[in-house]
Chain A
Amino acid sequence: MRVSLPLLVSAFAVCGVMALPVVYLALRAGESDSSTWDLILRSRTVGLGIRTLGLAASVTATAVAVGVSLAWLTTRTDVPGRRLWAVLAPLPLVVPSYVGALILLSVLSPRGLLQELLAPFGVDRLPGIAGFPGAFLTLALFTYPYVYLLAVAGLRGQDPALEETARTLGLSRWATFRRVTFPLLRPSVAAGGLLVALYTLHDFGAVSLMRFQTFTQAIFLQYRAAFDRTPAAILSLMLVAVALAVLGLEHRARGRARYYRSGSGARRPLSPVHLRKWRWPCAAFCGLVALLAVGLPVTVLGYWLSRTVAAGREIGEVGPAMFGSLAAAAGGAGLTVLAATPIALLAARHPGRSSRLAERLTYAGFALPGIVVALAFVFIGANLVPALYQTLPLLLVAYVVLFLPQASEPIRAALLQVSPRVEEAGRVLGRSGAYVFRKLVAPLASRGAMVGFALVSLTVMKELPATLLLRPTGFETLATLVWTESSVGRFGAAAFPALLLVTLSAIPLYLLAGRVDLQEVRAE
């Protein structure tokens, strides 16, 4: 199939924008001299790289294990409380990692809330979680929903006939999962795992609060302490290189196979797997994850809030910030899904060297710490397009650059499950490319687009560095409010906007979960 011109032009335009931070960093890095390199060598780059990759690998492995199990349990089985878990499972994604880290620290630090509870039993000090355990726990707990959401979308897109066939041919339930269901899920799981790995690479909030030194932390130190942008740019480019290596891994994990149905036959829902004696252990597993990743944050935030209210302190106005969060999330996610579509189409339908290059380029922004992308847009905005600088449109473009893979991955995964024969048939029957896209491709890819929209809007709602530097003056979001209060140590006052943030995020999640219910009704 030939690449259509509109597709090529739009993909090219998106890539141009996505490349901006990298071009900017390359220019900054070009200012380096030998003293810069001394500094980089002194900052123990190799050791940092190993620690960073170790963290990313362990967080990703855990997130995949938790995310895939939850996805399978909530979509394919009769686990008790399935709908509840389906609604709760993606929620942790909305907890900003610095808030999550603060919450875990307040509970699990040597003299934290848990120790207070255990004090009557003679426990006067807990070992604490700062360092690797804390960074690992925070990131795994609050990023596994990437895998969960993509795996759910992947499971929905699968043809149940394949599993049924496997069962009829005598495979056990476990063997069916291992040999049919999971391999078919590979593109979705690889995509989700990739998002988790890259999130871990660029995260600053959790690692700095848990005091675990990573690459991103070293970049922040350069900006914050030395005000030297050249070493920060070089370190950032190294991080992009690491991300490209991770992308290569994902490409291999995804495999070359086809994931769409090639035969004819009607698609229909699958009857749920009966867990029998495993029902309650599985429910306990879902409950444990929900307790740690949703119950704990909400309880601690509620506790902080109740202390503030009990002390009679006032809680600032949140109305404008709520509106700001919604506008930023909806605008950012909408624009990102639009920009991601040509990239995903190109990657799914026209695999090849140049489309892979284009696709990888779009990951640069997501692999970079938010502050780096934000400062790149500060430079570009103030100097090249001053009319747009510190306005909402430029902020939304920055969100696209930061989060595009979160939309392009699910769209591509959805497209991979649709046979290109469908489109070819449309064209052969004399329809225009635009018509085929509108009538055939878009509806089929819409499940991925919905997931992408939800993921991006959740992430935008908690985004901080770019929002702080690029927002219109006076524009507040719930995340900036949380930052304002918690940066002066007023956790009680920060708890209210944080709880609202979690509640508002339920909107995109509800849209996704609402679709779950519809399918279940048909299934039962």
Chain B
Amino acid sequence: MRARHTLVPLLATVLLGAACADQSSPPPSDRGESAATATTLTVYSGRDEEFIGALFERFEGDSGHTLEVRYGDSAELAAQILEEGDASPADVFVSQDAGSLGAVAEAGQFTPIDDDILDRVDPRFRSPEGLWVGASGRARVLAYNTDRVTEQELPGSVFDLTDPAWRGKIGFPPTNGSFQAFVAAMIVTDGEDATREFLEGLEANDPVLYEDNSSTVLGIAAEEVDVGLVNHYYLYEVSAEEGDIPVANHFFEAGDPGALVNAAGAGVMATSDDTDVAMQLIDYLTGDEGQTYFAEETFEYPVVPGYEPSVELVPLDQIDSPDVDLSDLGGTLEPALRLLAEVGLV
């Protein structure tokens, strides 16, 4: 009988808690008002709050509009948008990678971006149909420990990492989306057979597999490995957390799939009631505020010509990334993952 004495207050707490939580949630957005007055946009953001939250706040301050941002994993948010279909409450989808943007574009759920915005962005970093634009670029690099290897010893092509000389010295995060996009790019440039051969060679070299980019860079700093395949900005992320570390970035030579530059970007939902305000946000991300922010705060590459990356990065025009249409990467991601699984890397 005693149990009822605890169960009853518990259930009461439940109902009370549920009721309170309901009230504490923000009121529903009042979309449908004219764009001239302050409106509320729903943004699905696959970019972490850590990286982009401050920029969203600045937009709110500058424009007077309110953003209701739902953070999540880029690919999962894309899947969510596909499920929502025409009923999607989202106005803008901001993604970490071009693949997720491509999937939403292919489903016909984006409305074309205004021409003046499209025109300012480097054509490498936008959808050929004008359905999404990049807002920042991230280059694939070979990060290396400067105490263990010199720049001269580093290979020109990512394919050289299958050389037995690198045995036990390589690290990378095989389950990370950026790494997988790089493998997808290699399938586009060199075909599936060459990619399989590369992955088998890499696996035979006894690599250290990390959970993510940050831990790979940490592993290089700790001399667990000499070199690692990561996105360029993690070096700066980790340095900001850990202080000075003996790690530097090495860029592969022109046209090498290892030199892929991927885009994080955004698109406007076709079902949005506030296309004008949504377009304003895209304008902001690709405008002066946004481009300066990505260059200085997240150590990424601006995608609008004229803006320079802040740190001692190799300028974008000197990285000859492989001849890959970023929106095509979605098509080879599935075989990329299959190859990774078959080789036993994921």
Residues of A with Cβ closer than 8 Å to B?
39, 42-44, 102, 105, 110-111, 130, 208-209, 211, 213, 217, 221, 223-229, 311, 313, 320, 323-324, 326-328, 330-331, 333-335, 371, 375, 378-379, 382-383, 386, 389-393, 396, 442-443, 446-447, 449-450, 453, 465, 468-469, 472-475, 484-485, 487-490, 492, 511, 514-515, 518
Q: Is the CB of B21 within 8 A of A323?
A: yes
Known contacts: A211-B175, A474-B26. The answer to whether A226 contacts B333 by CB under 8 A is yes
Answer yes or no: B322 CB below 8 A from chain A CBs: no
Q: Are B211 and A449 in contact (CB under 8 A)?
A: no
Q: Find the B residue at minimum CB distance from A519.
A: B2
Q: How far is the CA of A211 from the CA of B209 in the complex (A)?
A: 9
Assembled-state Cα–Cα distance A488/B82 (Å):
25
Within B65-88, which residues are at the interface with A (CB < 8 Å)?
68-73, 75-76, 78-80, 82-85, 87-88
A488 engages B337 (CB within 8 Å): no
Contacts of B334 in A (CB 8 A): 39, 225-226, 228
Measured between C-beta atoms, what is the minimum distance from B220 to chain A in Å? 11
Given contacts A43-B338, A334-B11, A469-B80, contact A110 B18 (CB under 8 A): no
| CB-based contact A42/B338 at 8 Å | yes
Q: Is the CB of A475 within 8 A of B21?
A: yes
Q: Are B10 and A515 in contact (CB under 8 A)?
A: no
Measured between beta carbons, the chain A residues less than 8 angstroms from B211 are 102, 105, 209
Closest residue on chain B to residue A43 by CB atoms: B338
- Chain A binding surface, main DSSP class: helix
Contacts of B70 in A (CB 8 A): 390, 473
Given contacts A326-B17, A475-B21, contact A489 B3 (CB under 8 A): no
Contact of A488 among B11, B51, B333 (CB under 8 A): B51
Docked-complex contact B17 and A227, CB < 8 angstroms: no
B15 interfacial contact with A, CB 8 Å: yes
Q: Chain B nearest CB: distance from A510 CB in Å?
A: 10
Contact of A515 among B2, B24, B100 (CB under 8 A): B2
- Provide the residues of chain A in CB contact with B214, threshold 8 Å: 488-489
**Are A227 and B82 interface neighbours, CB within 8 A?**
yes
- Name the contact of B18 in the complex, choosing from A102, A392, A469 (C-beta under 8 A): A392
Q: Please determine whether B10 and A453 come into contact, CB atoms closer than 8 angstroms.
A: yes
Q: Which residue of A lies closest to B10 (CB)?
A: A453
Please give, as numbers and ranges, the residues of chain A lying within 8 Å of B76 by CB-CB distance.
223-224, 371, 465, 468-469
User: 3 shortest A-B CB distances, which residue pairs?
Assistant: A489-B214, A334-B14, A446-B3
A450-B3, A472-B25, A487-B48 are known; give 6 further A-B pairs, CB within 8 A. Answer: A110-B224, A211-B346, A221-B337, A224-B73, A333-B14, A334-B14
Whose C-beta in chain A lies nearest to the C-beta of B225? A111
Cα A324 to Cα B42 with chains together (Å): 21
Residue-wise interface mask of B (24-48) relative to A, using a CB-CB cutoff of 8 A (1 in contact, 0 not): 1110000000000000001000001
| Distance from A171 Cβ to chain B, minimum over Cβ atoms (Å) | 32
Task: Give Cα A213–Cα B338 distance, bound, in whole angstroms.
Answer: 11
| Residues of B close to A43: CB separation below 8 A | 338, 341
CB within 8 Å for A330 and B180 given contacts A227-B78, A446-B4, A469-B76: no
* Contact present for B72 and A468 (CB under 8 Å): yes
Tell me whether B336 and A225 are in contact (CB under 8 A): yes
- Taking a contact as CB atoms closer than 8 A, the residue among A102, A105, A311, A331 that contacts B21 in the complex is A331
Q: Hey, which chain B residues are within 8 Å of A472, CB to CB?
A: 25-26
Cβ contacts A to B, 19 pairs, < 8 Å = A42-B338, A221-B337, A224-B76, A225-B180, A227-B82, A227-B103, A328-B21, A331-B14, A334-B15, A391-B25, A393-B18, A450-B3, A450-B7, A468-B76, A472-B25, A474-B68, A489-B212, A489-B234, A514-B6
The reply on B302 being an interface residue by CB < 8 A is no
Chain B residues with CB under 8 Å of A379's CB are 83-85
CA–CA, A450 and B9, complex, Å: 12
A82 to B25, CA, bound (A): 43
Inter-chain contact A111/B82, CB cutoff 8 Å? no
Supposing A111-B222, A229-B82, A371-B76 touch, asked if A130 and B25 sit within 8 A by C-beta, the answer is no
From B15, B42, B209, contact of A130 by CB (8 A): B209
State whether A227 and B330 are in contact (beta carbons under 8 Å apart), knowing that A208-B175, A379-B84, A490-B241 are contacts in the complex.
Answer: yes
> Among the listed B2, B7, B333, which residue makes an inter-chain contact with A449, where contact means beta carbons less than 8 Å apart?
B7
What separation, in Å, do the CA atoms of A331 and B25 have in the docked complex? Answer: 15
CB distance A392 to B22 under 8 Å? yes
**Nearest-neighbor residue (CB-CB) of A396 within chain B:** B18
Number of B interface residues, CB 8 Å? Answer: 72
Q: Mark B301-340, 1 if CB is under 8 A from A, else 0.
A: 0000000000000000000000000000010011011100
Q: Does B165 contact A (CB under 8 A)?
A: no
In contact, A446 and B25 (Cβ under 8 angstroms): no
For the residues of B in contact with A, the DSSP-based class is helix
Closest to A112 in B: B224
Q: In the bound complex, how far is the Cα of B177 from the Cα of A29, in angstroms? A: 26
User: In the docked arrangement, what's the CA distance between A39 and B338, Å?
Assistant: 10
Which chain A residues border B14 with CB–CB below 8 Å?
330-331, 333-335
CB-CB under 8 A from A492, the residues of chain B are 241
What is the minimal beta-carbon distance from A110 to any residue of chain B, in angstroms? 7
B265 CB-CB contact with A under 8 Å: no
Question: Complex formed: what's the CA distance from A379 to B78 in Å?
Answer: 13
- Cβ contacts under 8 Å, A42 to chain B: 338
Cα-based distance from A227 to B109 in the complex (angstroms): 14
Residue B89 interfacial (CB < 8 Å) = yes
A488 CA to B215 CA, complexed, in Å: 10
Query: When A227-B103, A443-B1 are in contact, do A327 and B80 touch as well, CB less than 8 Å?
Result: no
CA distance A488 to B53 in the complex (A): 13
B213 at interface by CB-CB < 8 Å: yes
Say yes or no: A489 contacts B215, CB within 8 Å: yes
**Residue B208 interfacial (CB < 8 Å):** yes
B228 within 8 A of A: no
Residues of B within 8 A of A449 (CB): 3, 7
Would you call B17 and A511 a contact (CB within 8 A)? no
- B17: chain A residues within 8 A (beta carbon): 326-327, 330-331
| Cβ contacts under 8 Å, A130 to chain B | 209
Residues of B within 8 A of A331 (CB): 14-15, 17-18, 21
Residues of B within 8 A of A225 (CB): 75, 99, 180, 333-334, 336-337
Give A166 Cβ to nearest chain B Cβ, in Å: 28
Q: Which residue of chain B has the shortest Cβ distance to A469 in the bound complex? A: B80
Least CB distance, A140 to chain B, in whole angstroms: 20
Contact between A227 and B6, CB atoms less than 8 A apart: no
On whether the beta carbons of A213 and B180 are closer than 8 Å, the reply is no
A227 and B327 CA atoms in complex are apart in Å by 13
B237 within 8 Å of A by Cβ? yes
Could you tell me the distance in whole angstroms from the C-beta of A115 to the nearest C-beta in chain B? 10
Q: How far is the CB of A49 from chain B (nearest CB, A)?
A: 14
Report whether B25 and A392 are in contact in the complex, using a CB–CB cutoff of 8 Å.
yes
- Contact indicator A223/B175 (Cβ below 8 Å): no
Known: A227-B78, A378-B83, A474-B26. A511 touches B10 (CB 8 A): yes
Inter-chain contact B3/A447, CB cutoff 8 Å? yes
- Whether A324 pairs with B21 at a CB distance below 8 angstroms is yes
In the docked arrangement, what's the CA distance between A34 and B11, Å? 50
**Chain B residue at minimal CB-CB distance from A311:** B241
- C-alpha spacing A110/B207, complex, angstroms: 12
| Contact in complex: B79, A111 (CB < 8 Å) | no
| B87 CB, min distance to chain A CBs, angstroms | 4
* Pair B50/A490 contact, Cβ less than 8 Å: yes
